[in-house]
Amino acid sequence: MTRNSWLRSCFAIIANYYLACYLGVMSLGDSVMSISPINENSWDGIVKIQEEAYTDIAPEDVKVLKSKWYSSPQTCAVFTDHKGKVLAYLLAHPWASEIPPKLNEKIPVINSPILFIHDLALAIEGRGKNIGKELVQNLIHNAKAKSYVKILLVAVQNSTGFWAKFGFINIPSEEICSNYGENSQLMVLELET
């Protein structure tokens, strides 16, 4: 292989990687995975993932989860494998307060420049593959495009380190609902416009 053909091969690999990232598609081995909007067919997978992912807090009723989706479907997504199986999901919605919403309560449709990440969860088989990272980066990109000024979340189950990698910082708050579990932490990411 000549130096030029080697460089062309490297360039092609890099170009394909960036194209896949731009399109929200990722290849792991022989299987292609993608980020897509949540639809009605996603919910069985979402409920199953929620039940296996949360060990410190009780799972929420599907009607409550769907209220987050109904309020802002464009900021909610699933990560699926090549067969369409849901491996992870992210629910985010506008929120007009720095006091996080309570768990197990439906939310209304709100117009606000603040986005709240309600939930990010991965199936056991989806862990260790950067799927959570892909979903969060996709949301941050979309939030900036939609002119949100910040993203809030409550980090649960010792996940503050994960969120800090994206620039989220802790906010002292005594108004976090106890249903979020022990050691839950309010965090914020200020978005550059």
CA distance 160 to 154: 9
CA distances from 62 to 8, 28, 65, 94, 106 (A): 49, 30, 5, 19, 10
Domains defined along the chain, listed by start: 30-190 (3.40.630.30)
Q: What is the pLDDT of residue 55?
A: 81
pLDDT digits (tens, 9 = 90+) for 67-125: 999 999 999 999 999 999 999 999 999 999 988 999 999 998 999 999 999 999 999 99
pTM of the model: 0.81
Q: What is the pLDDT of residue 14?
A: 41
Q: What HEC string does the chain produce?
A: CCHHHHHHHHHHHHHHHHHHHHHCEEEECCEEEEEEECCHHHHHHHHHHHHHHCCCCCCCCHHHHHHHHHHCHHHCEEEECCCCCEEEEEEEEECCCCCCCCCCCCCCCCCCCEEEEEEEEECHHHCCCCHHHHHHHHHHHHHHHCCCCEEEEEECCCCHHHHHCCCCEECCCCCCCHHHCCCCEEEEEECCC
